[in-house]
A and B are shown apart, each in its own frame.
Chain A
């Protein structure tokens, strides 16, 4: 059996990672974490996670950048805010998860062909262009890109049910103020740099 060292030495860590995450929106309080584990025991997803929320916060505090960013945890987080309302140190854990998702997307660290970041990206593209989003169009776009979040075949009975009850349409929804929206997207982009 090949036994490997599981804990990094200090010089292998990223000392700037905590400061970087702290600068992101709603993540200022992160170093108040007392590692009590309330978040992990409250999280409905922790049984599926490689590293439950407490560990993720611990990773950030101690500079384990790669471990935090490549963990599957952030993609399992369903933003239910249970951990956040219960944390005794009032850390906005759900927002920290969002911040890590953005960091992971920006650095392209996520499982290959993994559907969640792509779903998020496609959806925001639709909104920025049309101002609205239609579930069916979103699913189709993703399918055409051959990522299969809602695998079309598997979805057929579901699609039929929606169709029969008049709850699905392929109509393109657009707002009137698209020019305004485009100006807004542009302003934010310019200002963000």
Chain B
């Protein structure tokens, strides 16, 4: 496997610390410790594309150039960073005249980029490169009986991803199965959480997330696992408000897929950021105890 430079992005250093706290030990446990990309800058997310297209590609170009100099590919757990870096990379590698212009600007400011970096998501590396057989062998604590709604959201599977289907992705379900958990048939798995709309046009954002929670409950899930900080933020932190607004008990824990993976690999639950959940996890832990061996 190639060496990867871990690109945390702003979320994994702030509201999604538990994503970082679980993804790093998981990769270590699997035998591929990750190192952070030195002096990375924010990817610009959806904001730069809405304001200045050239700058959107340029700020990503700086990160791609840093990785290239270290001879590494980029591993971006945040769905937003993943898409933005990948999109900009494809554009910079396209040979289009506007792309060449930006490559020239990058060079002039000391961030020469030759177009050799590759951007990947941890899910892709775990399922398609390392492989489920290897992971299955490392599982020491099967998550038997745990019903999981696998939520992919938008930007990991659309539109540039080549490792899964944009409408009916299965990689996360397969990973959860390999850990011994039971993925439910979650028909909302790629429906949008609304992104920043919870903060800007709240009633629309709440409604979208209500649908996602409701469907997971209907399918009997014990937990929703996500691959994206913004999805987790919306589903977790607006839950109280959704319950109040729609007068419906859609309470359910929201965790990162890497947290469950860490448990299954035998890592201590204290080291995987579970204490950062604002939703009580008692029922979740009871389920884990009843299923697998003691945690």
Residues of A within 8 A of B (CB): 24-25, 44-45, 48, 75-76, 78-82, 84-86, 92, 94-95, 98-99, 101-102, 105, 115-117, 119-121, 123-124, 126-128, 131-136, 149-150, 154, 157-158, 161-162, 164-169, 173, 175-177, 180-181, 183-188, 191-192
Contact = CB atoms under 8 A, between A and B. Distances in A.
Interface string B152-195: 00110011000000110000000000000000000000111011
Interface string B236-254: 0110100000000000000
A180 B51 CA distance: 21
**When A and B form their complex, which 3 residue pairs have the shortest distance between CB atoms, in order from nearest?**
A183-B109, A80-B192, A81-B158
A88 B231 CA distance: 28
A173 B196 contact: no
Given A161-B278, A169-B14, A82 B158 contact: yes
A132 B59 CA distance: 11
Query: Among A86, A127, A173, which residue has the most Cβ atoms of chain B within 10 A?
Result: A127
The B interface, classified by DSSP as helix, strand, loop or mixed, is helix
B62 A78 contact: no
A44 B105 CA distance: 38
B159 A81 contact: yes
B47 A167 contact: no
A76 B201 contact: yes
Contacts of A82: 154, 158, 190, 192
Contact of B62 (A121, A149, A184): A184
Interface of B: 10-11, 13-18, 39-42, 44-55, 58-59, 62, 91, 98, 101-102, 104-106, 108-111, 154-155, 158-159, 166-167, 190-192, 194-197, 199-202, 204, 208, 237-238, 240, 275-278
B55 A188 contact: yes
B55 A128 contact: yes
A76 B197 contact: yes
A72 B208 CA distance: 18
A168 B200 contact: no
A177 B201 CA distance: 35
Contacts of B155: 79-81
B197 A78 contact: yes
B159 A167 contact: no
Contacts of A99: 53
Contacts of B10: 132-135, 173
B275 A180 contact: no
A120 B45 CA distance: 9
Given A127-B44, A167-B276, A192 B54 contact: yes
A120 B105 contact: no
A7 B7 CA distance: 50
B98 A127 contact: no
A158 B14 contact: no
Given A76-B197, A165-B277, 4 more contacts: A48-B204, A78-B192, A131-B42, A181-B62
Given A81-B158, A169-B14, A149 B45 contact: no
Nearest to B102: A188
9 contacts: A76-B201, A78-B197, A82-B154, A85-B158, A94-B159, A101-B51, A121-B47, A124-B55, A132-B41
Given A79-B155, A98-B50, A184 B111 contact: yes
A115 B40 contact: no
B5 to A, nearest CB: 15
B48 to A, nearest CB: 5
A169 B43 CA distance: 19
B51 A167 contact: no
